Structure 1
Amino acid sequence: MSQRLRYSLIALAALLLCGVVVALFLHNYERGSEDITLPAYGEPTYNPLFALRETIRRDGGKAESRRQLDLPAMRLQPGDTVLMLDDPRLLTPSQVNGLLDWVEFGGHLVLRAQAPDEDLDAEGNGLLQRLGVVGHDGFAQCLTWQVPGQESHQEFCGGNRFTLDGTTRVEHRWGDSSGDKTTAWARLRYGAGRVDVLGDMDFLLNGAGPGDTGLRDLPHRDLARLVLAPNYGKGTFHLIYAMEMPSLWKTVIKRGWPIWLPLLLALLAWLWARSQRFGALLPSPREERRSLLEHVRASGELLHRYGKTPLLYDAVRQSFLARLRRRSPMAAALTGEAQVQAIADHLQWPISRVQSAMQVPPSRDDTALRERIRLLIQMRNQL
């Protein structure tokens, strides 16, 4: 078999194998489509009422989103609607009075009931308390919401419950059937306006996925339309989604970690690179094994061994001259023969003996070195 024929058979077998694999794949799999909800980006990441605002706008209404309640900037009109997502107990007394005055003349206010809190409920003059809404910390039961043509829905399963003390007239009420008079949704009449109090607002939010559909679910849109019905199509919807500002440090830690974490690692690496490295511990220095006299003697022997005897003589001579300057300054100030004569007169020594002591000995003459050092020491001691 030629080489060309062999290569042709190998190529044919490879093509046949590929054909079998493709046929099996097409036989066992078919093309299909799947809808995947992409993660939110931009404004929906921090505004949970973004979907509600856009839905109202597409329906021909006017809607605005605000982080905080700002009554002077909002300029509320009798046909407007204000929906507050956060705790209404965070409002100031002036804001509470402003909202109630506006509702009394035809406004529609939508609030979320809160669980009882001793600190926040201590004042007794909050917005919910003035409306006769009392928080309840009991167990919440799911309420069935049925839309024609749709599957049955369970709403208000995880929210708060509240009771009404009767100070405000109730227009609609939807609550548990357990007989404890707890309410999940109530519409109260206040003057010419209305106040809706909800135990939960999950059906009004954007939704985070398959388990939290939010306004993407048709029954939720119908329920939202029912809640917003009093002034729907009349005025502006003001959607307040963050009464309480988030902590700066919490935001930095939660959202800014892609920046501060690499910077922190780089800082630690730089500190590690610049830090001083210590080796093994050094042993303690040994205690001195020689006395001072032994050190002096060893130093003198070293200088003598290397022919540095004039240094030894000069050290003794300088010691003598230092004492001479203290005992006889006039003799120390002289030089040459005059100084020798003055020293001889002061010590009452022969001048020849003083001259011998003051002359530098030869570097290799040990006898002369010892003799002159001896004379200098005697002269020093007699001063």
Structure 2
Amino acid sequence: MTRTTRALLVVLLLAVLSGLGYYLVQNLHPQTRTLELGPAPEARANPYLAAERYLRGRGLSVNSVRSLEGLDQMPSKGHTLVLLGSRNSITPGQNRQLMSWVEQGGSLIVTAEHLWDDKTGKSGDPLLDPLGVRQYLSKDLDKAPGIGTDGDKGQTQDAEGADTDAAPPAETDDPTRASADDAYPDLTKLYLDNEQAPAYFGFDTEYHLFDSKNLAYAWANSHDTTHLLQLQQGEGLITVLTDNWIWQNDKLDEYDNAWLLWYLTQDSAVTLVYRADSDSLLSLLLRNYPQALLAGALLLALVLWRVSLRQGPLQPVPSRARRQLVEHLRASADFLLRQRGHAALLQGLQRDILRRARQRQPGFERLPIAEQWQHLGRMTRLPVGAISQAMRPHPKQRMSAADFTRQVAHLQTLRNAL
């Protein structure tokens, strides 16, 4: 290839690269894309994680627990307990404990979980039935006796006269302040003093709360149904909701849902109960029968100690008179065989033979090995080959039983002949 051809190829390559670069500059534009990976594992595991962090962000002390264990040690005054989990497994004793906790000044936020049955005269909710709080389906309000279609009429507001150390009560939905044409009939509205516009919440309008004993002094309604009731119990406060889904991660930022959670828990320490399970059997036993458990543990320890004793008579100690010298020699030889192997036993016999030879002929140890074997042959009248085979060093690897026995026989014959 000539120099001119190479120059043309270089110019052509530069032109192609320049054209490609110009095309890329004109047609490629940087873009920023956001990939939605969904909620974090913590949010998927806890549907109320956003509510918990929201309250902490408002400066409240928030604690989350998985059960009602330890309620008897929780202070009442200045404390709000929010039951977010199902209460189906709560025992009657725990319900009484909850009511006692509220009467001592605690604030309890609870969700109505069962519908009222007019035939049986109860809903099966041991916490709300004694308070007269009933839950109906909105579509069944016309069939329910004594209930109108526009909320709990006849209830009177007594928020200003209430004296409680718990969270501030919700104000009633004043029909005189609401517009005749409700622009948001499906939203629950809460009117506050000195406020012209209400707060809006996204409660499920399929449910309605009815205060059959007229104990509620504050409530919040949508167009036709009531979704929040507040009742004073002793020195404390009970807030009943139709649902607490408005505080889950995906609904907390809608309307004023987050504000309602703060409003009901402000100026108090908050405990969120994710699972209102009944006490375990072990916790009930420890709480009510600690002495019986201690006695059972001691009894079990005694039984195990008794069972672990040796069964039957003890073996008598062997008499020392029965032991013979042969047994000791055999035991010593077995010990040396296990610890040092065959070579050590053979070397012991060889040293014994050399010691006897030195006794019969002084200066024997200074002779060369070959002359020592010749002298041993003259003293024992054995062939020199047999003596060399018996007196030569043996390898450290383990010998077979037959070879070891044969070698010991040669050495014993040689020693006996001296």
Q: Which has the higher contact order (CA 8 A, sep 6+)?
A: 2
TM-score w.r.t. structure 2 length?
0.46
State the TM-score, normalizing by the size of structure 1: 0.50
The structure whose residues are more often helix, as a share, is: 1
